[in-house]
Structure 1
């Protein structure tokens, strides 16, 4: 299946196909005619797929690789000198290519390095986690974290191509499948009541598995349409951050060591919907439906923190515009909107979340 992300001069193709990883060179040759490639990956993913990708690409290109430690802690400024040094040692120029082979951390970090090295080197995203396949590899957001918050330094830098191979998900451990389901559920919440109903009706990931390529496609297509309408995240694209205002602060509070991104977003989706229901901003019963589907797929819905512990980080949220905090809420499942407010929205409740 091929989709085009239509962004004028920044348009690019996106392919979803079983075993596409073994055919990467033929696809990449559609958008890249240079000589050198550097693959940036991590020590979980590269041992599984790096050698076969290198072998496939080396028939046409001069290939190099950099393997980084896995985990959110790698997505920091401390990692950038090693990446830039590897790119310099490989003699990467602006006519060469960076491939991000991994999950959301590698996609964001390698993408940021590609955007800033020599003021921009071409980038191909090959996402290997469910979360990256349905969300983070599409749309051109690249970033690193700061101690004060997640993704606070970054850029909009569209890839030249995205290659999604659902077969690689077979090697993920259960937690990373669960993590990705947090973002899948998000898409049902904000834009697709039918997708949400599909998730509700299957009752487990195993029962859903046969439909996974179609579900990935649906999530990707929703994100494609949203990004085409709002490439730079000043309007409709903010809807993609449903659950993230709380989720990012929860991740940061525990130094990215406890909840994964998808788990934190799951908590954020339920808790912000619960707050919105209490303030008559969301239809009654919406939070209960989210809670039920989170439990179905093994996702958390609470973290034990008070909202007061999180408000300082919430104040730094990137969706703060014109002195207002723009929180994403649901009218009901499948219908979302941006609600301009202040920190008082969170301070109206004194309970733990």
Structure 2
């Protein structure tokens, strides 16, 4: 049976109250702090209850409060540190609640409780030693829990995200898991990816719940002329409802506006309207808006907070996650940029209903890429569910978006700045970027160019004996079914000539990610021009120039 309450247990100073408040606000649940309820019922503070009536009386009052709190529905219950000492308390709480134990190292607890000075059981000389003794005594009682989270090195927001992720994975909680959540674990730069359907109205509330943004007032909302008329008003309303003062900036639509000139316009707007280091940039749009707004956030006043709200499939599964932000230069794409992680990626699957079908297909190329580089079973899933994806089945879309984000998040966690395995994400991009550049970014959508680039890379792998012909054919067939290009109708010589200019090239030599099997790739820096030419000729319908 699914349970409607979340019960936080653990030693004093583990963070139950603050985590509980934030969790309840985020999940739209009620919040009960049992210690606070006891104080209200008795009419005095807990230290005074201990001093006047003793611990036994306090535990009796506590048990009565627990019985009442446990009868709630959709409630986050933060319990006192000693509530576990009475097994009946846990039995009652478990009837409707998932029990989550918050722990911390004794030294961390000591530092936290020193700041309050209101813990009656910790008014001793040897604080750390006494904490160790109490933890040892209570250890057997704390074992009765569904989940355990060590909060020693985590912020309140990170603990909240861990709790939500655990509950979603096990689907133990009833209606509380309104948004699916992934955590990108980059230590102090970590952030959550929230995925839902029809959830744009909750954006402001989710931003307001982020611990680092508690003092934020001004928000610069950046969008474009295609997305703004569709969702700008709703997002502005959500931000205002959450107490922010939003500033709206709408760009023209197109890759050519991902430029230093556009960035300068945004800087000017921010300066003229008094945005400071406590302000936030919200990027509402596809990859161009996300990259440009992210670049501005990374550089304005040496960096202000960034929220990504991607509205294309490609941006939702790729460009909004991982922290790459940039603008283009006339001589190359994304040549001027930075690694700058957002505070939050907020995805609403429903916005894809208004997306041009060609953009959906282009985004699907990046989804297919994840199956090739990391997960053969996921590739098979895409083969089996392609029609549902193209028909915008929200359940299937939610799954493939979450799966894609999960794959990318794990890669980024291992290699944030692309010194190793993150390069695998560039499968198909070496030839893809060349196609975009040679056609002045006006013929191919990014995903379309990547699709053709993946087939070219697969042909190189087949030519080297690294990949079976049948696996290459599976890739080509799926891309064709998705309505994506698999041929490269540009002269091989033109492509080979431009490859050394790619920003991922080393010492003038292009780097290729080549597939070894479905779910496995490897990076190569020794691919010769004749191999590239042969591969392009194999996948080229006709050699023409644009």
Task: Report TM bin, short chain.
Answer: over 0.9
1:328 aligns with 2:513: yes
**Corresponding residue for residue 502 of structure 2:** 317
1:235 to 420, 426, 430: 420
Q: Please give the alpha-carbon distance, in whole angstroms, between the structure 1 residues aligned to 2:232 and 2:334.
A: 26
**1:92-123 CA deviation, whole Å, 9 max, x = no partner?**
11111000000011001110111111110110
Q: CA deviation at 1:313?
A: 2.5
* Contact 2:457/2:535 (<8 A) preserved: no
Relative to 1, partners in 2 of residues 1:145 and 1:173: Cα closer, same or farther, differing over 3 Å? same
1:81 aligns with 2:264: yes
Matches within 5 A, 1:1-353: 1-31=180-210, 32-33=213-214, 34-59=216-241, 60-204=243-387, 205-206=389-390, 209=393, 210-321=395-506, 324-344=509-529, 345-347=531-533, 351=537, 353=540
Relative to 1, partners in 2 of residues 1:207 and 1:168: Cα closer, same or farther, differing over 3 Å? closer
Q: CA deviation at 1:20?
A: 2.0
* Contact 1:42/1:70 (<8 A) preserved: yes
The farther-off stretch of 229-238 and 324-333 is 324-333
Length-normalised TM-score, structure 2: 0.63
Relative to 1, partners in 2 of residues 1:56 and 1:350: Cα closer, same or farther, differing over 3 Å? closer
**1:225-273 CA deviation, whole Å, 9 max, x = no partner?**
0000000011100000100011111011111111100100000001121
**1:180-222 CA deviation, whole Å, 9 max, x = no partner?**
1111111111111111111112352346724110110000000
* Contact 1:99/1:123 (<8 A) preserved: yes
Relative to 1, partners in 2 of residues 1:22 and 1:350: Cα closer, same or farther, differing over 3 Å? closer
Q: CA deviation at 1:24?
A: 0.7
Question: Could you say what secondary structure the match of 1:144 adopts?
Answer: strand
Relative to 1, partners in 2 of residues 1:158 and 1:350: Cα closer, same or farther, differing over 3 Å? closer
Relative to 1, partners in 2 of residues 1:276 and 1:306: Cα closer, same or farther, differing over 3 Å? farther
Question: Could you say what secondary structure the match of 2:510 adopts?
Answer: strand
* Contact 1:190/1:335 (<8 A) preserved: yes
RMSD: 1.6
Relative to 1, partners in 2 of residues 1:219 and 1:203: Cα closer, same or farther, differing over 3 Å? closer
The farther-off stretch of 301-310 and 162-171 is 301-310
Q: Please give the alpha-carbon distance, in whole angstroms, between the structure 1 residues aligned to 2:426 and 2:351.
A: 26
Q: Please give the alpha-carbon distance, in whole angstroms, between the structure 2 residues aligned to 1:84 and 1:312.
A: 36
Q: CA deviation at 1:303?
A: 3.1
Q: Please give the alpha-carbon distance, in whole angstroms, between the structure 1 residues aligned to 2:386 and 2:401.
A: 18
Q: Please give the alpha-carbon distance, in whole angstroms, between the structure 2 residues aligned to 1:208 and 1:198.
A: 15
Gaps of 5+ in 1: none
